[in-house]
């Protein structure tokens, strides 16, 4: 169980992302965005060492629905993750835990293992800012046979990050640009959906991640 500390962060997560998001190939907003936190959820690390968060932020004014919403999976560590320098979002000073290294979670095996566990039903989504409280807005399903093999290396596209599974298994696809009302394709064997806050105060719901046949 992850313990949520209500304390200071410098820089804040949103400030950290404001400089990192514009460098991503799936980001389509302004070069100097004013980000707004719009939702998200957490997963527990079974070892209790790594913070796992799926954060949603909105940025810019693109699209007919107003600012686009982006899903940013992050991991927080008390020391650098060896070999993941390319995935470092930045460092923050935590009022209780000290220096925290924040990574693009798609490059952190603890997060990808947690996401697969969520899809399969072996893990439960947790509220973003409350300790030991399930997030009932996050839904998942899995119709495959047996456990999902570990994903391959992540590859960014214009809209998502994709992991090609070894041995012809299903492809894990994490949506980076969220679309209200989106649903899984017919060939999906697993999915995660959730909700986020729109600028007008209403709630949107859509697809977060899928497992799709090749």
- Number of structural domains (the chain) is 1
Reduced 3-state DSSP string for 103-156: EEHHHCHHHHHHHHHHHHCCCCCECCCCCCCECCCCEEEECCCCCCCCCCCEEE
In this structure, the chain runs to a length of 214
Range of the domain at 128: 9-212
pLDDT tens series, the chain, 214 aa: 555 556 677 799 999 999 999 999 999 988 889 999 999 999 999 999 999 999 999 986 555 556 899 999 999 999 999 999 999 999 999 777 779 999 999 999 999 999 999 999 999 999 998 878 999 999 999 998 778 888 889 999 999 999 987 777 889 999 999 999 999 999 899 999 999 999 888 999 999 999 998 7
Cα gap 198→205, rounded to integer Å: 10
Distances (CA, A) of 205 to 16, 167, 202: 26, 33, 10
Encoded tokens for 117:
């566990």
């Amino acid at each position: 169980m992850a313990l949520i500390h209500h304390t200071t962060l410098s820089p804040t997560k949103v400030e950290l992302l404001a400089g990192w998001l514009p460098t991503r190939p799936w980001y389509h907003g302004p070069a100097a965005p004013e980000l707004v936190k719009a939702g998200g959820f957490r997963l527990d690390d079974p070892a209790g060492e790594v913070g796992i968060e799926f954060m949603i932020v909105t940025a810019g004014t693109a699209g007919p629905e107003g600012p686009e919403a982006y899903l940013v999976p992050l991991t927080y560590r008390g020391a650098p993750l060896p070999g993941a320098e390319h995935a470092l979002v930045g460092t923050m000073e935590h009022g209780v835990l000290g220096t925290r290294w924040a990574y693009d979670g798609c490059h952190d095996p603890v997060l990808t293992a947690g996401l697969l566990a969520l899809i399969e039903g072996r893990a439960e989504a947790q509220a973003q800012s409350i300790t030991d409280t399930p997030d009932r807005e996050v839904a998942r399903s899995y119709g495959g046979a047996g456990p999902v093999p570990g994903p391959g290396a992540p590859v960014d596209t214009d809209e998502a990050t994709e992991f090609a599974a070894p041995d012809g298994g299903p492809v894990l696809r994490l949506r980076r640009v969220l679309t209200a009302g989106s649903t899984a394709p017919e060939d999906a064997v697993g999915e995660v959906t959730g909700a986020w806050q729109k600028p007008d105060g209403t709630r949107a719901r859509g697809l977060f991640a899928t497992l799709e046949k090749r």
